[in-house]
Amino acid sequence: MAVLVTGGAGYIGSHMVLELVDAGEKVVVLDDLSTGFRWSVPPEATLVVGDVGDQDLVTRLIDEHGIDSILHFAAKIVVPESVADPLTYYLNNTVKSRALIEAAVTTGIRNFIFSSTAAVYGNAQADLLSEDTPLNPINPYGRTKLMTEWMLEDASKAHGLRYAVLRYFNVAGADPKGRSGQSTPQATHLIKVAAQAALGQRPHLDVYGTDYETPDGTCVRDYIQVTDLARAHLAALRHLRHDGDCITMNCGYGHGASVREVVDVVKKVSGVDFEVRYSPRRPGDPAALVAKVSRIRSLGWEPHYDDLEEIVDQALRWERALAERKAA
């Protein structure tokens, strides 16, 4: 059987494809390449350029390749952009996910793994957010993801589709073997942007908000390394394939770092004291998001890269590799 990975040419999706290929899986990638890159898909996987909302295309791929599982990463993910342009986010993240879920149901797909987000928790007031924390997203991005979680729950009850929802906290770093990383030029991930500032690819780093109710006034996030995250998906896939129950899981390390702390680590690892500019808060940013991760660990998942300096070093090395690729 084969696995369909939507958004498999993007940042997290490409790392998932690498892990699946390394595990000996047959992989089909469906990506419209709007933010992904053809070169990020390894030759062992089959790349199909198309729209995840195209049900006829998805149905044909499922039939042609004998797909039994879908891992759904394709989405728009920038919180401030979702506030400014919510309808585009509802189209890409909710409407097209609904089409994909319907294609999965009508073709008898057994397993569906969904890339969700900690943004579904909103401004939850808890030191650690468990999967049972009340859900109250404060931005359209989080709402679009929560709506897809609801659709999966209802489709499972009605049609027997087995699913796993993985709620990501802040994803960072790059493939330790240097095969993939965060490659979008205008990405907003803090560690990537700070790495670009350290390497002189940006004139400075903007920090948004210093008046949050956190120890140093800046946002606190739980940073999970991207290969560890991909391996969490593998654990979820094995769970479903062994007739495990539908499950929703946080993906993080269970501890956070503030924006100021991340900036200090990037300066230390890079050896560059780049300029930092402080600006007002961005709309839709919660003060702190840190995961309780006992549920994902119950599947046998253990992190291998839970070290902020190592994650930053991976990001810096990937930025240098991207610069060399562009110069070639």
Boundaries of every domain in the chain: 2-172+224-251, 190-221+254-327
Please, are residues 156 and 111 in contact by the beta-carbon 8 Å criterion? no
What is the per-residue pLDDT for 80? 87
Cα-Cα-Cα-Cα torsion 277, 282, 286, 288, nearest 10 degrees, comes to 0
141 among known catalytic residues: yes
d(CA 247, CA 153) in angstroms, rounded, equals: 10
* DSSP-derived secondary structure letter, 60: H
Question: What pLDDT sits at residue 154?
Answer: 98
CA nearest to 204, candidates 286, 265, 272, 283 = 272
Distance separating alpha carbons of residues 99 and 103, to the nearest angstrom: 6
Q: What sign does the CA torsion over 52, 55, 58, 61 have?
A: negative
| Per-residue confidence (pLDDT) for residue 328, from 0 to 100 | 76
8 A C-beta contact, residue 142 and residue 117 = yes
CA distance 248 to 235: 13
Q: Which of 89, 121, 141, 253 is catalytic?
A: 141
Q: What are phi and psi of 246, to 5 degrees?
A: -55, 145
Q: What is the pLDDT of residue 111?
A: 97
Please name the fold of domain 2-172+224-251: Rossmann fold (3.40.50)
Could you read off the pLDDT tens digit of each residue along the chain, which spans 328 residues?
A: 899 999 999 999 999 999 999 999 999 999 999 999 999 999 999 999 999 999 999 999 999 999 999 999 999 998 889 999 999 999 999 999 999 999 999 999 999 999 999 999 988 877 899 999 999 999 999 999 999 999 999 999 999 999 999 999 999 999 999 999 999 877 889 999 999 999 999 999 999 999 999 999 999 999 999 999 999 999 999 999 999 999 999 999 999 999 999 999 999 999 999 999 999 998 778 888 899 999 999 999 999 999 999 999 999 999 999 999 888 7
Which two structure tokens, joined as six digits, stand for 106?
Answer: 């009508």
Domain 190-221+254-327 sits in which CATH superfamily?
A: UDP-galactose 4-epimerase, domain 1 (3.90.25.10)
Return the pLDDT at 149.
Answer: 98
146 and 95 Cβ atoms separated by less than 8 Å: no
Q: Residue 188: what pLDDT?
A: 83
The overall longest dimension of the chain from CA atoms, in Å, is 56
pLDDT at 126: 79
Q: What is the pLDDT of residue 130?
A: 96
